[in-house]
């Protein structure tokens, strides 16, 4: 059993699209993070001058799940979209002002008759197949739009689910493992996917946005149990304040006329 002087905070950092901005944020905050560069192949990292953190690297989709479990991880950095999608028991400690994405519903550009979700429902001449990584967010959105009248069937490579029992839904949500923008028209009628503000990837794949579901950015999350532990709560607060200083430096350097 660890003594008080040996206690550590377990921190999960994101691999992939959020990695570069996360590393830059730590550098602006004064942390020297080893083992987290683009060319590093290890899934473990360290702060040079702070051995009270144990750091592991994981996919953003998994981080809220692990942070929400008891006695796994105390802190993590992920997207707000994955916090909602996984419905994990975590608390948002600090929005981080990068990794901004929108979750959108999109169809092929040539569908000039479809401009809204209602158009998609009304113009379909057969069941509607929507490809998405966001099964829970998409299901919640469809239930909201149809006033709980349409519960979509959820299809994964392993299982077909229907939240309304034997009801035959006109909408099927198919789990996507990436490259979602390339699914229409052969594998899907529409997609629910994340996109940057420029919509560059959407446009490159001859798609058009017809609905905005959610906005999201990166966020620092914590396990509620960790926040009730006096030592961990104090350490998390110090960590939060240091990151806030880094974010303030980034904002000030982005102001016009800054040298």
Query: Is the Cβ–Cβ distance between 188 and 92 less than 8 Å?
Result: no
Does residue 88 carry a pLDDT above 80?
Answer: yes
> How does DSSP assign 181-228, residue by residue?
GG-TTTT-SEEEEEE-TT-HHHHHTTEEEEEEEEEE-EEEEE-HHHHH
Q: Is 90 in contact with 227 (CB distance < 8 Å)?
A: no
Q: How confident is the model at residue 165 (pLDDT cuts 50, 70, 90)?
A: low
- Helix, strand, or coil here: 174? strand
Percent of the chain clearing pLDDT 70 (strictly above): 93
**pLDDT band of 2, cuts 50, 70, 90:** very low
Question: Exposed/middle/buried for 47, CB within 10 Å: 0-12, 13-18, 19+?
Answer: middle
pTM above 0.85, yes or no: yes
Quick: pLDDT tens for 194-208. 999 889 999 999 999
Q: SS in 3 state form for 106-119? A: EEECCCCCCCCHHH
Q: How confident is the model at residue 253 (pLDDT cuts 50, 70, 90)?
A: confident
Lowest mean pLDDT among 108-112, 151-155, 156-160: 156-160
Query: What pLDDT does 51 receive?
Result: 86
Give me the pLDDT at residue 215, please: 97
Cα–Cα distance between 101 and 43 in angstroms, integer? 25
User: Is the pLDDT at 258 greater than 50, yes or no?
Assistant: no
**What does pLDDT average to over the chain?**
91
What the chain holds in terms of domains, given with CATH numbers, is 4-100+217-253 (3.40.190.10), 101-216 (3.40.190.10)
What phi and psi values does residue 138 have, to the nearest 5 degrees?
-65, -45
pLDDT of residue 259: 45
Q: Higher-confidence residue: 23 or 38?
A: 23
Which band of pLDDT confidence, cut at 50, 70 and 90, is reported for residue 167? low
How do residues 27-61 score in pLDDT, each as one tens digit?
999 999 999 987 888 899 999 888 899 999 999 99
pLDDT at 200: 93
Percentage of residues in the chain with pLDDT exceeding 90? 81
Q: Which residues pair with 160 in a beta bridge?
A: 155
Mean pLDDT of 67-74: 94
């Amino acid at each position: 059993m660890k003594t008080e002087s040996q206690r550590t905070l377990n921190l999960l950092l994101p691999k992939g699209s959020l990695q570069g901005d996360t590393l830059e944020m730590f550098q602006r905050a004064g942390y020297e993070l080893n083992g987290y560069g683009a060319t590093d192949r290890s899934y473990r990292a360290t702060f040079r001058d702070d051995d009270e953190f144990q750091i592991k690297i994981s996919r953003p989709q998994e981080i809220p799940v692990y942070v929400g479990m008891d006695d796994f991880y105390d802190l993590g950095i992920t997207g707000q979209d994955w916090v909602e999608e996984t419905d994990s028991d975590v608390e948002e400690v600090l929005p981080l002002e990068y990794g901004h994405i929108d979750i959108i519903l999109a169809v092929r550009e040539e569908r000039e008759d479809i401009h809204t979700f209602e158009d998609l429902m009304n113009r379909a001449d057969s069941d509607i197949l929507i490809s998405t990584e966001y099964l829970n967010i998409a299901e919640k959105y469809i239930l909201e739009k149809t006033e709980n009248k349409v519960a979509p069937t959820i299809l994964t490579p392993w299982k077909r689910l229907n939240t309304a029992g034997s009801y035959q839904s006109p909408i099927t949500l198919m789990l996507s493992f990436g490259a979602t923008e390339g699914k229409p028209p052969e594998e899907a009628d529409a997609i629910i996917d994340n996109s940057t503000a420029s919509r560059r990837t959407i446009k490159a794949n001859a798609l058009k946005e017809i609905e905005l579901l959610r906005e999201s950015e990166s966020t620092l999350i914590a396990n509620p149990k960790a926040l009730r532990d006096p030592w961990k709560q104090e350490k998390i607060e110090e960590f939060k304040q240091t990151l806030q200083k880094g974010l303030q430096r980034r904002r000030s350097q982005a102001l016009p006329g800054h040298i």
